Amino acid sequence: MPKVKLYDICHARSGDKGAAVNIALIAYDPADYPWLAAHVTTEAMLAHFGAWVEGPAVRYELANIGALNFVIQGALDGGVTKALMIDGHGKGHSTIALELEIEADDLPPSLQPAARTEQDVSA
């Protein structure tokens, strides 16, 4: 099964909400948003972060800008003023999320061979 690294198809921003972190994944190509929404679940995100977060996590959809927003509880060691962990602001969590590799039967549209050929031709 092909593996897709999120870094290759989306950008991300994260920040603190008390002891929770919010991580938004934003598709570079809006056409990839349905693929993201179908494959990047809260379970996938929690499994990726493993023991680095407590959970639970909630996922919100922003189809209008091609983005998913994850709010993960218990991620910042008590929050920015109290945390012993270095990144109590959670700004680095965006980069951690983008390391996630998703195994899927189908590729997101922007990575499908046809799309690549078109891009190559237009380039």
Partner 1 sequence: MSERTLRLGAGSAHEGDDLRASAKVAREGALDYIVFDCTSEKAISFAYQRRLAGLPAYDDKWELKLHAVLPHCTANGTRIIANSGGLDPAGAGEAAVRVARELGKKGLTVAYVEGADVTDIVRRQNPVLLETGRPVSELGNSFLGALAYGGSDEIVAALRKGADIVITPRAGDSEQFLAPMMHEFAWSADDWDRIGAGLGIGHLMECAAQVSGGYFADPVKKPVTGLDRLGFPIAEVGETGEAIITKLDGTGGLISEATVKEQLTYEIGDPANYVHAAGVVDFTTTRVAEVGPDRVRVSGTTGKPRPERARVAIAVRDGFVGMGRIIYGGTGCYTKARIAADIVRDQLVERFQVEPADLRFDYIGVNSLFDWGVDTDAVREVELRVTGRFPSREAARRVQMLVSQLPVSGPCGAAWGRPMDQGGVEEIVTFQSVLIDRSDIPYRIQYLTS
| Contacts with partner 1, residue ranges (CB under 8 A) | 7, 11-13, 15-18, 20, 22, 24, 26, 28, 49-50, 52, 58, 60-67, 69, 71, 77-82, 84-87, 91-92, 96, 99
> Whole-angstrom Cα distance, residue 31 to residue 42?
21
Minimum Å gap between C-beta 58 and partner 1 is: 8
**What is each CA distance from 81 to 71, 74, 89, 110, in whole angstroms?**
19, 14, 9, 41
Minimum Å gap between C-beta 17 and partner 1 is: 6
Of residues 14 and 105, the one with the C-beta less far from partner 1: 14
CA angle 107, 108, 113 (to 5 degrees): 65
Minimum Å gap between C-beta 109 and partner 1 is: 18
Minimum Å gap between C-beta 30 and partner 1 is: 10
> Whole-angstrom Cα distance, residue 8 to residue 84?
32
> Whole-angstrom Cα distance, residue 60 to residue 80?
23
Of residues 95 and 117, the one with the C-beta less far from partner 1: 95
